């Protein structure tokens, strides 16, 4: 199963996302969405599980939770923005969600993949407006019987 990971769109959905997410079966948005229209546009590609971030207004908070837990291919996945942990790190997130096999977060705008004891923590980076001299990016997760593979893709 291929899953698209996106975060920190801040109201901007770059056209490249449609190409990068071609063929994904699900999309996980880790918050700071910016506009409900972003979720509608992503739903054209695949079903979306999203959470709100610290900059999201009441229109987003009324539609999506602060954190989400789903099961895919026999694995537990948690999606959270991460702002509730200050500047989130893999050890903090792994301790907060001990049953999660895969944790997807945003907030820092910095793409990162951490593997700890068979568990994976991923920040796909920020897909929206360019900030902090970082290139916009998304992630692709492939889940299969051999494990969890993660690719960070610049936009």
User: For 41-51, how does the pLDDT look when each residue is reduced to its tens digit (9 = 90+)?
Assistant: 999 999 999 99
d(CA 148, CA 83): 25
Entry pTM: 0.96
| Residues facing residue 104 across a β-bridge | 79, 122
* Domain covering 2-154 in this structure, CATH number: 3.60.21.10
Give pLDDT tens digits for 104-140.
999 999 999 999 999 999 999 999 988 778 899 999 9
């Amino acid at each position: 199963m291929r899953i698209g990971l996106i975060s920190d769109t801040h109201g901007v959905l770059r056209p490249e996302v449609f190409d990068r997410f071609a063929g994904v079966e699900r999309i996980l948005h880790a918050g700071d969405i910016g506009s409900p229209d972003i979720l509608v546009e992503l739903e054209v590609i695949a079903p979306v599980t999203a959470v709100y971030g610290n900059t999201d207004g009441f229109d987003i908070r009324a539609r999506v939770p602060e954190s989400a837990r789903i099961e895919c291919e026999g694995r537990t996945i948690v999606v959270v923005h991460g702002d509730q942990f200050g500047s989130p790190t893999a050890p903090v997130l792994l301790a907060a969600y001990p049953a999660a096999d895969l944790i997807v977060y945003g907030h820092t705008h910095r793409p990162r993949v951490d593997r700890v004891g068979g568990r994976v923590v991923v920040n796909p980076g920020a897909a929206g407006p360019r900030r902090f001299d970082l290139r916009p990016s998304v992630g692709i997760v492939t889940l299969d019987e051999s494990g969890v593979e993660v690719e960070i893709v610049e936009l």
